[in-house]
A and B are shown apart, each in its own frame.
Chain A
Amino acid sequence: MANGRYGIHGGQYIPETLMNEIIKLEKAYEFYKNDPDFNAELDKLFKEYAGRPSLLYYAENMTKDLGGAKIYFKREDLNHTGAHKINNVLGQCLLAKKMGKTRVIAETGAGQHGVATATAAALMGLECEIYMGKLDTERQALNCYRMELLGAKVHPVTTGTMTLKDAVNDAFREWVSRVDDTLYVLGSVMGPHPYPMIVRDFQSVISKEARQQILEIEGKLPSAVMACVGGGSNAIGMFYNFINDKDVRLIGCEAAGKGVDTDKTAATMATGTLGVFHGMKSYFCQNEYGQIAPVYSISAGLDYPGVGPEHAYLKDIGRAEYVPVTDDEAVEAFEYIAKTEGIICAIESAHAVAHLMKIAPKMDKNDIIICCLSGRGDKDVAAIARYRGYNINE
């Protein structure tokens, strides 16, 4: 894999100022990923701090109600900080420490990755600054304060559309200004190589555990695994150890917003085209002149105009399928899983649950589906209430 290519996707499209730093990061990672001490330390953090392994939960009520495939949820929502993001940040912050860095910066959309990074930085004694679109700081005011409680400084980003993509732009701009003591802890399987690989490897613990768990419980592999896709980190985590199991369908659910035939969408796979942005070649929502499109989803975590290069590749070769899910469908799923299973999941994860509700009834009772619940939904309760016309403030 030269320069981190996934088929035609990936690469390292970044300013020269960052090239040596990216090469250093790649070398450090190649060393530490095979270092027994590093892995033992990370494993200990996963078990004793993050609460891994996460549960594989049999959703009996939904299975009976939907009347088809047997449904399991991989409960990443039960991790410390309430989402899968902690898997990646513990890995990257530990790597930052090993590289002698004293400061980490990160972008965040909904605030989950920012909170996770601030958490790991607090734990490991790293200085932490978070870049967050100004619109998102308003939508997710609680998460902003949470990051500050954890000792991080939050920079509201006022450029461009003031959302996730602009937060990534400003995090890159900050990193170019201060590379020596700082590591950019990227939150998804995106950006220049080696990030898509590093983030995937740290998130692949999801499918490593799930594969073992389902074999122990059911004695066979699932028919399908599924997850929501923004940049795609929980999805690649859920897919990775099943990629070689050719009979297991891999299904990614992206945010269609108001619908893929409207301009209020973030469904990159359904509506995007090939481009080069944020350090990678992949699919992006953009116009005919390559201007990156403003995207929309009810979910701030899926509100991103691109998708990770490995997902683009899995789509190209037909190994994974990607489907759009609208705001309405996701909100219905959010409410359904709450009432049926007593689980309030993140609105991001609810996109996967919505598609699960469509396909499970059509499948056989012998089929098994594992759906990743990437995060918990406490952060979304006020927004969902407003969506339903109740005026609740956080």
Chain B
Amino acid sequence: MNKISDAFNHGKAFIGFITAGDPDLETTKKIIKSMAQGGCDLVEIGIPFSDPIAEGEVIQNANIRALKNNVTTDDVFDMTKEISKEIDIPMVYMTYLNVLFRYGYEKFLKNAHDCGISGVIIPDMPYEEKGELQSIAKQYGIEVVSLIAPTSEQRIKVIAKEAEGFIYAVSSLGVTGERSEIKTDLASITKAIKEVTDIPVAIGFGINTPEQAKKYSAISDGIIIGSAIVRIVAEHGKAAPEYVYKYVKSIKDAIK
């Protein structure tokens, strides 16, 4: 199994997100492979959830499409296990806490580990509530990624001190989605994080152009792109892998 830190060992990291099962799991596998070939350093696999409150419309719709296909958590595990044999970069799951809770933390984390997953990102589990999951995740070598928001202020240091894997710095207020302009003073936030931890910081929410990728990777250790990739999948369906490859490559080239 690859570690999250491997993603940050060769320059600025590009973290790409994809919703599992949109348009179908076979295509998801191909897309993940294209992402790895295009230069992604870490893949975030979204396990679909009925009510993704941190997502903008693009990823909400991807969740709805995947659930319409009856994609279950078990199906995502199977898909992950297969693709883990074909790629050589770390993978994490992004989903909502109820998906893990209802499956059973212990069983979920064990399966995730067995499928080659290195970490989990849970947007509706803030610092105060991570205890119940983190203790079990540790047993299976799964790192729980912490998010830091533009509104975190005095919480930045508290969260950063206990962070694992990488820190997901949320660029803007609001939900996920492509933005033409990001107003948050991310350089100051990254600086505050760096004062208390050596863990890498990646910036996400809103980034979609190579120019933005270049700009924000310059003040951090990497960038995260989700909606722009998911939109390509929405547009091209089963034909998406080659378009995703081209897009990923254009971003990776920009941050090199």
Which A residues are closer than 8 A to B by beta carbons?
3, 11-21, 159-160, 165-166, 169, 172-173, 176-179, 273-279, 284, 286, 288-292
Contact = CB atoms under 8 A, between A and B. Distances in A.
Given A177-B175, A286-B102, A160 B51 contact: yes
Interface in B143-202: 146-153, 155, 159, 170, 173-175
A288 B103 CA distance: 7
B49 interface: yes
A20 B155 contact: yes
A15 B149 contact: yes
Contact of A289 (B51, B73, B149): B73
Contact of B129 (A11, A20, A166, A274): A11
Given A165-B51, A289-B72, A159 B60 contact: yes
A290 B98 contact: yes
A275 B54 contact: no
Contacts of A11: 128-129
- Among all A-B residue pairs, the 5 with the closest Cβ atoms: A290-B102, A177-B174, A17-B149, A290-B98, A291-B50
B50 A160 contact: yes
B124 interface: yes
A137 to B, nearest CB: 19
Nearest to B122: A13
20 contacts: A12-B129, A13-B126, A16-B126, A16-B159, A17-B149, A17-B170, A17-B173, A19-B149, A160-B50, A166-B51, A173-B175, A176-B175, A274-B101, A276-B97, A289-B99, A290-B100, A290-B102, A290-B103, A292-B50, A292-B51
Contacts of A160: 50-51, 64
Given A15-B149, A176-B54, A178-B173, A290 B101 contact: yes
B79 interface: no
Nearest to B99: A290
B155 A13 contact: no
A286 B174 contact: no
B57 to A, nearest CB: 8
Given A286-B102, A290-B101, A12 B152 contact: no
A273 B102 CA distance: 9
Contacts of A17: 149-151, 170, 173-174
Given A176-B173, A286-B102, A291 B49 contact: yes
Nearest to A13: B124
A179 B151 CA distance: 9
Interface in B104-143: 123-129
Contacts of A172: 53
Given A3-B128, A19-B127, A19-B128, A275 B152 contact: no
A292 B170 CA distance: 26
Interface string B81-100: 00000000000000001111
Nearest to A294: B50
B126 A19 contact: yes
Most A CB contacts (10 A, CB to CB) among B64, B73, B125, B146 go to B125
Contact of A19 (B102, B103, B155): B155
B126 A289 contact: no
Contact of B149 (A16, A276, A286): A16
Given A12-B129, A166-B51, 8 more contacts: A12-B128, A16-B152, A17-B173, A19-B126, A176-B54, A289-B72, A290-B103, A292-B51
A357 B51 CA distance: 37
Contacts of B57: 159
A19 B156 CA distance: 12
Contacts of A274: 101
Contacts of B64: 159-160
A159 B128 CA distance: 29
A21 B173 contact: no
A276 B126 contact: no
Given A159-B60, A176-B54, A176-B174, A15 B102 contact: no
Nearest to A3: B128
B101 A276 contact: yes
B103 to A, nearest CB: 7
Contacts of A284: 98
A20 B159 CA distance: 13
Contacts of A288: 102
A304 to B, nearest CB: 12
B51 A15 contact: no
A14 B146 CA distance: 13
A62 B28 CA distance: 62
Contacts of B100: 290
Contacts of B153: 20
Nearest to A19: B126
B234 interface: no
B67 interface: yes
B98 A277 contact: yes
A15 B126 contact: yes
Given A286-B98, A290-B99, A169 B51 contact: yes
B103 A14 contact: no
Nearest to A279: B124
Contacts of B99: 289-290
A278 B151 CA distance: 20
B183 to A, nearest CB: 12
